[in-house]
């Protein structure tokens, strides 16, 4: 890289994707700067998204006593009258810690952090409007990585006030738990929060235009989640569309009335609107860089995460599915490596997905529907947590681990799990997939006893037995 540029790499956004890209470039002894418009680093992931929501989930599980109810009854809880303050206490501590860790990682790798908003002047030049000093300057970079993330998609016809009608970013600002809640949008975020609030005893109604939850998830696993949500008193309004929302006053309290296109009306204390997310690209001046986002503000990239302009890369949520912190980190690493001609390999089809509903879901590899469309001959092996001693010990008798393998050569094709620890347990299957292992691996492997990992052996036996039926 010539000294004609101020930086070898300029990264717009300090979330997981931007952070990993910046550190990878710094490890290659490049001049790197990260531009972050927020007062703190970490992006949505640390400050309002992944970390807060998963910490809230853990607080919900603990304070509600959910994990112990199979032993002590449905009325058991660690704390009566749980408040938002109780839940947020834990989240605040974790957020502060993660922000500090992220900033320290950037600084010790000699990555300059610039508190500013960025806007392209030309493909190699970005105007920076300082957040602290309110001054403006321009910088140039040989390579630029766009990792600005997303924001909640807002409908102009919905009266968002952040209290009665709010988006997921507003949850950390809620003053108290509602008695009833409508969640509009049953994507990952909607399902996660619907399950959390219902675990706290909130009467939740979940609305979505689609006829099933999470269509990218294996249908059997998605059906199991639907069943567990209904068992927890969540009312499903699938195949329904919200046509209007109004806030009104009833008994000196604000309430929300949701109008559905079918003519139904739902009244609740509050409404969480979660209809997807839009790329944070509207203020980047992408035209000046020669780039055009789609109607959701997302950028198209190739396998190296290059945009239509070769030295400009885009990574993380701003490029769309799967929009996970884990995959975003890997995208940032690959993009930075490619920018400086470092050979770095990645296998996107083996990226694991974790969905932190209650119960949680995780998967790696294709689902049954996809394999059927591809004409791949497969068989399935299943293991229920209730069959496993560890499942009985921890009180999770609803979990399920599902192995999909080729019925001809017995190679493992996918792992799908719903239940406690799913997002940890899936990595065993991920490793076997990575080395092209067969389902026989689990038969021949000795797992610690008692552990949930034993599910792999039980599911493998189940699958092989099906071959001889």
136 shares its domain with 85: yes
Please report the pLDDT score of residue 466 as a whole number: 93
Distance CA 305, CA 312 (A): 9
442, part of any domain: yes
82 shares its domain with 98: yes
Q: Summarize the confidence of residues 426-451 as an average pLDDT.
A: 96
* Weakest mean pLDDT among 90-104, 282-296, 376-390: 90-104
Distance CA 211, CA 453 (A): 33
Q: Decide: residue 440, CB within 10 A, 0-12 exposed, 13-18 middle, 19+ buried.
A: middle
* Weakest mean pLDDT among 34-43, 101-110, 230-239, 338-347: 34-43
Q: Summarize the confidence of residues 124-139 as an average pLDDT.
A: 91
234 shares its domain with 123: no
Q: Summarize the confidence of residues 350-356 as an average pLDDT.
A: 93
CA-based R_g, the chain, Å: 24
Instruction: Identify the band that residue 1 occupies on the pLDDT scale cut at 50, 70 and 90.
Output: very low
Please report the pLDDT score of residue 378 as a whole number: 97
59 shares its domain with 136: yes
Report residue 227 as tokens. 């069943």
1, part of any domain: no
438 shares its domain with 322: no
Distance CA 19, CA 315 (A): 11
User: What percent of the chain clears pLDDT 70, i.e. is strictly above it?
Assistant: 97
Please report the pLDDT score of residue 131 as a whole number: 81
Token pair 């009335």 is found at 257
**Contact status, residue 87 vs residue 63, Cβ threshold 8 Å:** yes
367 shares its domain with 337: no
Please report the pLDDT score of residue 280 as a whole number: 92
270 shares its domain with 337: no
- pLDDT greater than 90 at residue 421: yes
**Contact status, residue 364 vs residue 426, Cβ threshold 8 Å:** yes
Distance CA 401, CA 220 (A): 11
Last residue of some domain: 251, 275, 299?
275
Please report the pLDDT score of residue 469 as a whole number: 59
Q: Decide: residue 259, CB within 10 A, 0-12 exposed, 13-18 middle, 19+ buried.
A: middle
- pLDDT greater than 90 at residue 190: yes
Distance CA 458, CA 417 (A): 14
142 shares its domain with 26: yes
Q: How many CA atoms lie within 13 A of 161 on its CB side?
A: 13
396, part of any domain: yes
Please report the pLDDT score of residue 46 as a whole number: 58
Backbone angles phi and psi of 412, in degrees to 5? -70, 135
Burial readout 157-192 (b: 16 or more C-beta within 10 A, e: otherwise) = ebebeeebbbbbebbbebeebbebbbbbbbbbbbbb
Between 276 and 124, the more confident residue is 124
Please report the pLDDT score of residue 116 as a whole number: 93
Reduce the DSSP state of residue 401 to 3 states and report it.
Answer: strand
Cα of 320 vs its chain's centroid, Å: 12
Instruction: Identify the band that residue 43 occupies on the pLDDT scale cut at 50, 70 and 90.
Output: low
- pLDDT greater than 90 at residue 67: no
Distance CA 78, CA 84 (A): 15
The CATH number covering residue 442 comes to 3.30.390.30
Q: Which among 131, 121, 148, 110 is positioned nearest to 29, based on CA atoms?
A: 110
Q: Summarize the confidence of residues 89-95 as an average pLDDT.
A: 83
Domain hosting residue 378, numbered range:
359-467
Q: Summarize the confidence of residues 188-213 as an average pLDDT.
A: 95
Question: Into how many domains does the chain fold?
Answer: 3
Last residue of some domain: 348, 376, 409?
348
- pLDDT greater than 70 at residue 174: yes
158, part of any domain: no
353, part of any domain: no
160, part of any domain: no
170, part of any domain: yes
The sign of the dihedral angle between the CA atoms of 8, 10, 14, 15 is negative
Last residue of some domain: 306, 328, 348?
348
**Contact status, residue 141 vs residue 7, Cβ threshold 8 Å:** yes
The CATH number covering residue 262 comes to 3.50.50.60
* Weakest mean pLDDT among 164-173, 238-247, 304-313: 164-173
- pLDDT greater than 50 at residue 339: yes
322 shares its domain with 372: no
Q: Summarize the confidence of residues 148-169 as an average pLDDT.
A: 89
Q: Summarize the confidence of residues 421-440 as an average pLDDT.
A: 96
Q: Could you tell me the CA-to-CA distances from 135 to 11, 76, 118, 125 in Å, in that order?
A: 20, 56, 12, 17
Q: Summarize the confidence of residues 363-386 as an average pLDDT.
A: 97
338 shares its domain with 381: no
For residue range 96-118, list pLDDT tens digits in order. Answer: 888 888 889 999 999 999 999 99
DSSP character for 133?
A: S
Q: Which residues pair with 115 in a beta bridge?
A: 36
**Contact status, residue 36 vs residue 14, Cβ threshold 8 Å:** yes
Burial readout 116-132 (b: 16 or more C-beta within 10 A, e: otherwise) = bbbbbeebbbbbbbeee
DSSP character for 56?
A: H
The arrangement of strands across the sheet holding 400-406 comes to 353-355, 361-365, 412-418, 400-406, 378-384
Please report the pLDDT score of residue 44 as a whole number: 61
306, part of any domain: yes
Q: How many residues does the chain have?
A: 469
Report residue 364 as tokens. 């790696």
- pLDDT greater than 70 at residue 47: no
Instruction: Identify the band that residue 45 occupies on the pLDDT scale cut at 50, 70 and 90.
Output: low
208 shares its domain with 225: yes
60 shares its domain with 135: yes
Q: Which among 5, 25, 4, 44 is positioned nearest to 313, based on CA atoms?
A: 25
Between 46 and 246, the more confident residue is 246
Instruction: Identify the band that residue 48 occupies on the pLDDT scale cut at 50, 70 and 90.
Output: low
């Amino acid at each position: 890289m010539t000294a004609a540029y101020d930086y070898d790499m300029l990264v717009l956004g300090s979330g997981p994707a931007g952070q990993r890209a910046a550190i990878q470039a710094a490890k290659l002894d490049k001049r790197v700067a990260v531009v972050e418009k927020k007062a703190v680093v970490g992006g949505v992931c640390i400050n309002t998204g992944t970390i807060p929501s998963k910490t809230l989930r853990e607080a919900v599980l603990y304070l509600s006593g959910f994990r112990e109810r199979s032993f002590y009854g449905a009325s058991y809880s660690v704390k009566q009258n749980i408040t938002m303050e109780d839940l947020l206490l834990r989240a605040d501590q974790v957020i502060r810690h993660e922000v500090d860790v992220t900033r320290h990682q950037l600084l010790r790798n000699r990555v300059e952090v610039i508190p500013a908003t960025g806007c392209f002047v030309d493909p190699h030049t970005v105007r920076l409007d300082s957040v602290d000093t309110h001054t403006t300057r321009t910088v140039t970079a040989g390579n630029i990585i766009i990792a600005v993330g997303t924001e909640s998609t807002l409908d102009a016809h919905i009266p968002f006030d952040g209290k009665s009608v709010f988006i997921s970013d507003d949850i950390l600002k809620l003053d108290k738990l509602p008695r009833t809640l409508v969640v509009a949008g049953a994507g990952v975020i909607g399902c996660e929060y619907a399950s959390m609030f219902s675990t706290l005893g909130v009467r939740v109604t979940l609305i979505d235009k689609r006829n099933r939850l999470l269509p990218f998830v294996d249908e059997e696993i998605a059906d199991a989640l639907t069943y567990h949500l209904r068992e927890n008193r969540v009312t499903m309004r699938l195949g329904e569309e919200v046509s209007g929302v109004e806030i009104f006053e009833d008994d000196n309290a604000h309430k929300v009335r949701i109008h559905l296109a079918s003519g139904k009306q739902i009244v609740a204390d509050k409404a969480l609107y979660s209809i997807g997310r839009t790329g944070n690209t509207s203020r980047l001046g992408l035209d000046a860089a020669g780039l055009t986002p789609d109607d959701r503000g997302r950028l198209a990239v190739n396998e190296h995460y290059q945009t239509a302009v070769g030295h400009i890369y885009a990574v993380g949520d701003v490029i769309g599915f799967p929009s996970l912190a884990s995959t975003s980190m890997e995208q940032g690493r690959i993009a930075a490596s490619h920018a400086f001609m470092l050979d770095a390999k990645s296998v996107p089809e083996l990226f694991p997905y974790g969905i932190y509903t209650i119960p949680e879901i995780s998967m790696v590899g294709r689902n049954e529907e996809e394999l059927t469309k591809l004409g791949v001959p497969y068989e399935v092996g299943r293991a229920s947590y209730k069959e496993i001693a560890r499942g009985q010990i921890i009180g999770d008798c609803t979990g399920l681990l599902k192995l999909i393998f080729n019925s001809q050569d017995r190679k493992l094709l996918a792992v799908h799990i719903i239940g406690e620890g799913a997002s940890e347990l899936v990595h065993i299957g991920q490793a076997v997939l990575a080395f092209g292992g067969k389902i026989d691996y689990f038969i021949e492997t000795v797992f610690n006893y008692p552990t949930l990992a034993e599910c792999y052996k039980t599911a493998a036996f189940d699958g092989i037995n099906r071959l001889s039926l």
